[in-house]
Structure 1
Amino acid sequence: MDADSRTRAVIEEHWRASERGDTDAERAIYAKDAILDYPQSGERFQGRAAISAQRGAHPADRTFTVQRITGHGSLWVSECLITYDGVPSHSVSIMEFADDRVVHETQYFADPFGVPAWRAALAEPMPGASPVPDAGVWQIADRPASGPSITASSRPGELSCPRPQRPPAGRGERSWRGGR
């Protein structure tokens, strides 16, 4: 088995251990002085013991579904769907390895969101994806929830969508950024 196959197997076991709630097996991937960063909250956990304590003390009932693992050498990325008490959250975990252990992990989390009306006709569902229930439609300020019209372009088989106009400064900023 080559080095990348071994690393992939270690990462897969890490996520299986997370799913089982086996904190000893889950923490085995980390170097003693590993760092775990959560950029969205600004938290940094230093050392395998702190990482393990933080994960082991989590109060929610969690499930982990690995959607993809990709990487090579010392840099690996896992995309997961983690549910906390039944509420889904997408996670991207970036793991940096040295001497067969994670020395630095950065983990990002994102809640699912509904499809904005202005681009609904331009997209198709991702394989295996399901609609987000009750997510609503992200609106652009001063525009109805139905969004702009989607029309056929001058080329057969293509669609066009008028580019939304940015709201004036200070008005509707959340709605504008919320268009993701």
Structure 2
Amino acid sequence: MNSTDIVRAFWASMQSNDFDMAAREWLSPDYIGSWPQTGEVIRGPAEYAAVNNAFPGRGDWRFEEISLVADGNRVVTDTRITHEPLEIATHAITFHEISGNLILRQTEYWPDEYPVPAWREGFLKIDRQIAQW
């Protein structure tokens, strides 16, 4: 498998909502995940599974690839993450580093939707369909 295949298989595994299995199959034992916006660090597949299992709405999470860019052992994904019953729709921009056939490191950003700043109002047209938030 190449790096793109590994990352796509990881996201497909996350789609099952079996986060223990996804972590066990696709994350290196030396895995480190970081969320720079909060400073949190995830160490190892077990901790990754634990934090994902702690999210509300167990079993209804959906993961849709919006884009993927790869360069050797580095892959960047923009993934739309939704939970219809909780009315959640967000994106995760994830930088994956692959070692062997496993994900060694992920750096993930969770951008929040926000209103147009007052100084920019009227300059640009709002089109949610094209923007696909």
Distance in 2, matches of 1:71 and 1:126, equals 27
Aligned to 1:15: 11
8 Å contact kept, 1:90–1:112: no
8 Å contact kept, 1:76–1:95: yes
Distance in 2, matches of 1:66 and 1:43, equals 24
Normalising by structure 1, we get a TM-score of 0.61
Cα displacement string for residues 39-97 of structure 1 (whole angstroms, at most 9, x for unaligned residues): 11211111111112222232234222210111121111010111242222221011111
Uncovered stretches (5+) of structure 2, i.e. residues with no partner: none
8 Å contact kept, 1:88–1:112: no
CA RMSD of superposed structures (Å): 2.4
Cα displacement string for residues 108-127 of structure 1 (whole angstroms, at most 9, x for unaligned residues): 10122233462544457476
One-letter amino acid of the structure 2 residue matched with residue 68 of structure 1: S
* Aligned CA distance change for structure 1 residues 127 and 73 (closer, same or farther; 3 Å): farther
Distance in 1, matches of 2:122 and 2:92, equals 24
Q: Which has the larger radius of gyration?
A: 1
SS at the partner of 2:11? helix
Identity %: 24
One-letter amino acid of the structure 2 residue matched with residue 39 of structure 1: P
One-letter amino acid of the structure 1 residue matched with residue 8 of structure 2: E
Count of residues in Structure 1 that have an aligned counterpart in Structure 2: 127
Aligned to 1:72: 71
* Aligned CA distance change for structure 1 residues 120 and 18 (closer, same or farther; 3 Å): farther
Aligned to 1:52: 49
1:123-134 alignment, distance < 5 Å: 125=127, 128-130=130-132
8 Å contact kept, 1:14–1:25: no
Distance in 1, matches of 2:14 and 2:71, equals 22
SS at the partner of 2:110? strand
SS at the partner of 2:33? strand
- Is 1:33 paired with 2:30? yes
* Aligned CA distance change for structure 1 residues 39 and 23 (closer, same or farther; 3 Å): same
Normalising by structure 2, we get a TM-score of 0.79
* Aligned CA distance change for structure 1 residues 126 and 58 (closer, same or farther; 3 Å): closer
Uncovered stretches (5+) of structure 1, i.e. residues with no partner: 133-180
